[in-house]
Structure 1
Amino acid sequence: MTNCSNPKFKPAVFFDRDGTIIELIPYLHHPEQVKLIPGAREAILRLNKAGYLVIITTNQSGIGRGFYTEHDLNQVNLAMTDQLKPAHLDAIYHAPSAPEHKSIFRKPGTGMIKAAQIYFKINMKKSWVVGDNISDLHFAKNAGLPFILVATGYGNKYKHLAERCSKSILPAVSLILNHD
């Protein structure tokens, strides 16, 4: 069994994509519509410099519903990663299934985190989840990770349910870095 608290393993921050790192547009599939949330580049760069893995975990039911394709999703992700430079993402995991198709990969299931754990050496004791939706909160809870709800995207709708809230991604990252 892998010791996930090994100090040689890197901590990770698992971010939701839409409404957390980029502006929320339901079923976004046009790369020219990608717009970073203010402070996203700086926030991710701070995590990169602090030695955290930065991993996106995103439900993309538009693929399962036939609204757009994996190629469309990849183009949106490329636009996002280009806008984030010089900051970088270590991985992007997505769940393409529609909600009615039960999948352990679709949040709040923990399949995306488990896949990241297999690929990367992650110190889970120092890892976090940041997102704007109730599914992100339950995703964190199911994975046993602390959660920060950001008020961007759908966040204001769920702030009464979250233990930790932040105006946006940059102050959320400050909370994480000041917590260690």
Structure 2
Amino acid sequence: MSQVYFFTGFPGFIANQLIHGILTKYDNVEKIYVLVLPTMKHQAKVRINQFNEQYSLPDGKISIIEGDITKVHLGINEKINRELETSVTHVFHLAAIYDLAVPRDIAYRVNVDGTRNVNEWVQKLQKLKRYTYFSTAYIAGTRTGILKEDELIRPPGLKMQI
């Protein structure tokens, strides 16, 4: 059974690594769609060309969809949205603002409102098998090296008030 993937957060690092893994491990990848901000379209095309060359992919195997998670229906063209609703089987929501120095309203619009929009959008996908949402939190204080989940209660160097 073929799989159709949809990524937000492309051409970011995590999306690139996941697409690489999918193309390496699975033979049943029918199509990969990547949601890209218009300002990132050139970078996305460059990265897709690299994937096409590296994996000998036919043109169109990975397709760019211009959009924005902060907009209703992710800012995707209505015709394209109908196509996605009937074909996408796997969604990876990776788009976010990770920089803690950005103004709160911008971070909120992307990380909270944007994720809400993606959550609402995936509910319309008729063939959805898996929805994966990645979130990043900076909570390790000044510690370096591996930090295990069971050590997150109060890692050394974390400044917090109780």
Is TM (by shorter chain) over 0.5?
no
The TM-score normalised by the length of structure 1 is: 0.30
Is the radius of gyration larger for structure 1 or structure 2?
2
